[in-house]
Amino acid sequence: MSKVQLPNTKLFINNEWVESVSGKKIKTYNPSNGKLICEVSEGSKEDVDIAVKAARNALENGEWSKMSSEDRGKLIMKLADLIDQHREHLSDLETLDNGKPLTAATNFDVIEAARSLRYFGGWADKIQGKTIPISSEFTSMTRHEPIGVVALVVAWNFPLLLLSWKLGPALAAGCTIVAKPSEFTPLTALYLCELIKEAGFPPGVINIVNGVGEVVGNALSHHMDIDKISFTGSTRVGRLIMEAASKSNLKPVTLELGGKSPNIIFGDCDVEYVANAAKNYVFANSSQLCCAASRFFVDERIFDVFLTIFTEKIKQLKVGDPYDNDTHLGPLVSKQQLDRVMGYIKKGKEEGATCHLGGEIHNHNVDGTGYYVQPTIFINVTDDMTICKEEIFGPVVVLLPFKTVDEVIQRANNTTYGLAAGIWTKDISLALNVSNRLKSGSVWVNDFNILKSQIPFGGFKQSGFGRDLSEYAIQSYLSVKAITIAHKTLHAQEQ
């Protein structure tokens, strides 16, 4: 691990670094060893008010309000270019703060953050309304206008990427922004602020307020001058945000929440191929992702064979130093998350499931520091067990045999979540039939975790509503205004 240069750790408001009103600090820790990285300014309701005023002024009176859509797009693309140029530094910061392997941060998070912004930069001058034929006496048309000042609240598992997913469509639509990174992983968002200034964004367009959810997130959710809030995180917090929005100014909300994604493996597949593919995605980001393939439904005819091969593949995964290029699984993000995951593993054993592999803390460091968990496989699991129903957000997967297509669809849908699902089969008709019947926002066939800027991403049921990515994401940052013009002149009416 190289020495990483830390970003400015204050709040970023109106293109300036400012200390929080209270002067309080939040500590952020390195999850690979539990040591303090630094302290960042802790925002409060007062800081949120200041940031919202700056965003409102930029929206209505500043340079941003007068800028052409083409020029907005150029700024977004410039920011994407700067992310590419600072890829190494951003990757180092993401690994330091989040614990994900450096190879993943470099080759996925940072690259895809730039690609997402570049995609939405291209959309900025292509947002347009329609003309609507009514009769010979009227002309009606729609304008798609920025919804206003938006709050972006992002989770800690993909700090830079999730922020970029939301910044892109909001900026393309012409909105101004107050964003809150997670208190666990604020560093790449803060470094991004320097690139925002360098790209040339006018003051007040993008503001970053660090802080804890109970304070800053709560203030944003209740704020009477926030026009929309977009949140990625837990279902529990999503409920609180919806409640706050309804109790304040009825601001629209988009939510990307938890998941318990089924992965259905049919008997006609190439077992070796599927097991090898699963090795590469099932514990990505130490399974700290909402669309994690946490429930494997395997055709009973191939269950034992798949289990044997899959187990051997998982044993090949290396848990350890995230700066080592051979590492597949780094630490979990925090001691709190480590305790949560180990609690679920304990619960699974208590409820009668068989821990087939792993199930223990991985002591990577000789002094026992760091928040590492072994890749864990449970078998002899029933659908009503806690580990089969609740989102664990750690490297734990359950394997369940099934007999029929109708049975597995019913069981796969038997969850409060509906974010993602996977299907493995050589039969395209079967794949389409099952895809259509799964209650899930994303269905991937013969692959998994295909996340691209052009493809909408979001959930059904308690996995949330609204979409990140694609043209669909832009729509939620726009207000549609209908203008209808009578062809008769006032003078003609008077006659």
Q: What is the pLDDT of residues 382-433, one digit of tens each?
A: 999 999 999 999 999 999 999 999 999 999 999 999 999 999 999 999 999 9
Closest by CA to 448, choosing from 330, 328, 285, is 285
Q: Under 8 Å CB-to-CB from 339, ≥6 apart: which residues?
A: none
What is d(CA 104, CA 115) in angstroms, rounded to the nearest whole number?
15
What is the CA angle 296-298-303, rounded to 5? 120
Average per-residue pLDDT in the chain?
96
- pLDDT, tens digit, for every residue of 458-471? 999 999 999 999 99
Q: Residues with Cβ < 8 Å from 495, sequence gap 6 or more?
A: none
The tokens for 349 are: 């054993």
pLDDT at residue 236, rounded to an integer = 94
Q: pLDDT band for 360, please (50, 70, 90 cuts).
A: very high
SS3 string of the chain?
A: CCCCCCCCCCEEECCEEECCCCCCEEEEEECCCCEEEEEEECCCHHHHHHHHHHHHHHHHCCHHHHCCHHHHHHHHHHHHHHHHHCHHHHHHHHHHHHCCCHHHHHHHHHHHHHHHHHHHHHHHHHCCCCEEEEECCEEEEEEEEECCEEEEECCCCCHHHHHHHHHHHHHHHCCEEEEECCCCCCHHHHHHHHHHHHHCCCCCCEEECCCCHHHHHHHHHHCCCCCEEEEECCHHHHHHHHHHHHHCCCCCEEEECCCCCEEEECCCCCHHHHHHHHHHHCCHHHHCCCCCCCEEEEECCCHHHHHHHHHHHHHCCCECCCCCCCCCECCCCCHHHHHHHHHHHHHHHHCCCEEEECCCECCCCCCCCCCCECCEEEECCCCCCHHHHCCCCCCEEEEEEECCHHHHHHHHHCCCCCCEEEEECCCHHHHHHHHHHCCCCEEEECCCCCCCCCCCECCCHHHEECCECHHHHHHCCEEEEEEEEECCCHHHHHC
Name the band, by pLDDT with cuts 50, 70 and 90, for residue 488.
confident
**463, 256 in Cβ contact below 8 A?**
yes
Q: Which residues are catalytic?
A: 256
In this predicted model, what pLDDT tens digit does every residue of 26-69 receive, in sequence order?
Answer: 999 999 999 999 999 999 999 999 999 999 999 999 999 999 99
Q: What is the pLDDT of residues 101-126, one digit of tens each?
A: 999 999 999 999 999 999 999 999 99
- Cα Rg of the chain, angstroms: 24
What domains does the chain contain, in order, with CATH numbers? Answer: 11-257+459-481 (3.40.605.10), 262-445 (3.40.309.10)
CA distances from 305 to 6, 41, 196, 280, 363 (A): 49, 53, 52, 19, 31
Q: What is the pLDDT of residue 57?
A: 98
In which band, very low, low, confident or very high, does the pLDDT at 1 lie, cut at 50, 70 and 90? very low
Which amino acid type is present at position 182?
Answer: S
Give per-residue pLDDT as tens, 121-140: 999 999 999 999 998 899 99
Q: Are 45 and 172 in contact (CB under 8 A)?
A: no
Name residue, tokens 């995180």.
233
149-153 and 420-424 strand pairing: unpaired
Phi, psi of 367 (to 5 degrees): -90, 5
Per residue in 280-331, pLDDT (tens digit) is 999 999 999 999 999 999 999 999 999 999 999 999 999 999 999 999 999 9
* CB neighbours of residue 493 within 10 Å: 8
Mean per-residue pLDDT, 172-186:
98
349: confidence class by pLDDT, cuts 50, 70, 90: very high
The contacts of residue 90 (CB under 8 Å, 6+ apart) are: 83, 105, 110, 113, 160, 188, 191, 192
The CB density around residue 197, as the number of other CB atoms within 10 Å, is 14
Provide the pLDDT confidence category of residue 240 given band limits of 50, 70 and 90.
Answer: very high
* Spatial separation of the C-alpha atoms in residues 444 and 236, rounded to whole Å: 26
Question: Quick one: tokens of 339?
Answer: 């305790």
